[in-house]
């Protein structure tokens, strides 16, 4: 076993209706207070040797006890990443300042009309304000650019936006294969060209995996069971992943063409192939960019 990451779904509720996501359409699950579940559950996971805690959902800031969750996780020694749509950050973000190691703000398009259409709610300027506030509160926010076959056309504008804001942008292809089917050879060249910019972070293994069409059920690349612990809001663990609880790892229908990066990125640390090498190199490359920014 080489468990590395805990994907903690702190809530299934969301205050947006993103066109590429179906979590907000599912059933809500009861969310007990952090004092009832989280300390014991996270403590047990940390004892397994897990170092990285990915706070996800739903929209994490809908959990009113999020600061307590983050504080306890930080006390346990987790490296914490969190992705938010930014809608509640102005109202609830300050108590979390200093508790998140990698704070990502999701942005689908670098312009108001298209981003708001994609999210199903007016939120573009909330994200812009949230990024500014996060910087003011001492955070190092990163734009998480959800790239689809439509939005990738605006990569130059997204990079320019990140540069104006003085933040990094992470290139994050949408996890639904059908959202990337329009990625042609010139699209990948387009991505590679802009990935050289100093404010752009990427994972080369991810781009190659998109080119290959994602996971193949007859020869799965998924190692979610060995690398990831999935924790639900009520403290329940599921395996191998949130999308395939109790199924055969990488071999179920839901696994066909899977590009769910919260599971595939840890999977790329296993097995000696091109994805292993590209992932390792990308991690080094991104760390160097982030380190240079601090000096």
Bridge partner list, 135:
none
Residue 21 confidence class, pLDDT cut points 50, 70, 90: low
Q: Please say if the pLDDT value at position 23 is more than 80.
A: no
Q: Please say if the pLDDT value at position 122 is more than 70.
A: yes
Tell me what pLDDT residue 177 has: 60
Mean pLDDT of 90-115: 95
Q: Please say if the pLDDT value at position 224 is more than 70.
A: yes
Bridge partner list, 105:
84, 143
Mean pLDDT of 86-95: 95
Which stretches of 213-264 are assigned E, i.e. beta strand?
228-231, 237-238, 240-241, 244-245
Residues of the chain above pLDDT 90, percent: 75
Q: Please say if the pLDDT value at position 74 is more than 80.
A: yes
Euclidean distance between the first and the last CA atom of the chain, given in angstroms as a whole number: 37
Tell me what pLDDT residue 120 has: 85
Tell me what pLDDT residue 119 has: 85
Quick: pLDDT tens for 237-295.
Answer: 999 999 999 999 999 999 999 999 999 999 999 998 999 999 999 999 999 999 887 65
Residues of the chain above pLDDT 70, percent: 89
**Residue count of the chain:** 295
Q: How many domains does the chain have?
A: 1
Mean pLDDT of 165-176: 92
pTM: 0.92
Question: The CATH number of the domain where 55 resides is what?
Answer: 3.20.20.70
Q: Please say if the pLDDT value at position 39 is more than 90.
A: no
Q: Please say if the pLDDT value at position 27 is more than 70.
A: no
Q: What is the mean pLDDT of the chain?
A: 90
What is the greatest pairwise CA distance in the chain? 51
CA–CA gap between residue 130 and residue 113 (Å, rounded) = 18
Mean pLDDT of 54-73: 93
Residue 85 confidence class, pLDDT cut points 50, 70, 90: very high
Q: Please say if the pLDDT value at position 1 is more than 70.
A: no
The boundaries of the domain holding residue 265 are 5-294
The answer to whether 55 touches 86, Cβ cutoff 8 Å, is no
Residue 183 confidence class, pLDDT cut points 50, 70, 90: confident
Q: Please say if the pLDDT value at position 205 is more than 80.
A: yes
């Amino acid at each position: 076993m080489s468990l590395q990451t805990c994907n903690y779904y702190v809530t299934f509720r969301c205050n947006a209706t993103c066109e590429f996501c179906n979590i907000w359409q599912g059933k809500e699950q009861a969310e007990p207070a952090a004092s009832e579940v989280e300390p014991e559950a996270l403590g047990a996971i940390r004892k397994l040797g897990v170092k990285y805690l990915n706070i996800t959902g739903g929209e994490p800031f809908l959990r009113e006890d999020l600061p307590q969750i983050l504080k306890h996780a930080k006390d346990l020694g987790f490296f914490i990443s969190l992705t938010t749509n930014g809608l509640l950050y102005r109202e609830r973000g300050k108590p979390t300042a200093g508790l998140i190691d990698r704070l990502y703000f999701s942005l689908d398009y670098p312009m108001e009309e298209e981003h708001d259409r994609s999210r199903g709610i007016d939120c573009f300027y909330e994200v812009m304000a949230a990024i500014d506030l996060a910087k003011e509160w001492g955070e190092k926010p990163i734009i998480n650019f959800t790239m689809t076959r439509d939005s990738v056309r605006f990569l130059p504008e997204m990079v320019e936006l990140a540069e104006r804001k003085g933040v990094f942008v992470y290139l994050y292809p949408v996890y639904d294969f059908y959202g990337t089917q329009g990625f042609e050879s010139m699209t990948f060249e387009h991505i590679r060209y802009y990935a050289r910019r100093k404010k752009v972070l990427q994972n080369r293994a991810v781009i190659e995996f998109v080119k290959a069409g994602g996971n193949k059920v007859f020869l799965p690349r998924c190692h979610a069971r060995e690398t990831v612990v999935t924790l639900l809001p009520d403290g329940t663990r599921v395996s191998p992943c949130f999308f395939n609880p109790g199924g055969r790892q990488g071999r179920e229908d839901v696994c066909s063409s899977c590009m769910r990066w919260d599971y595939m990125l840890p999977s790329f640390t296993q097995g000696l192939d091109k994805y292993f090498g590209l992932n390792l190199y990308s991690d080094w490359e991104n760390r160097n960019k982030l380190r240079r920014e601090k000096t």
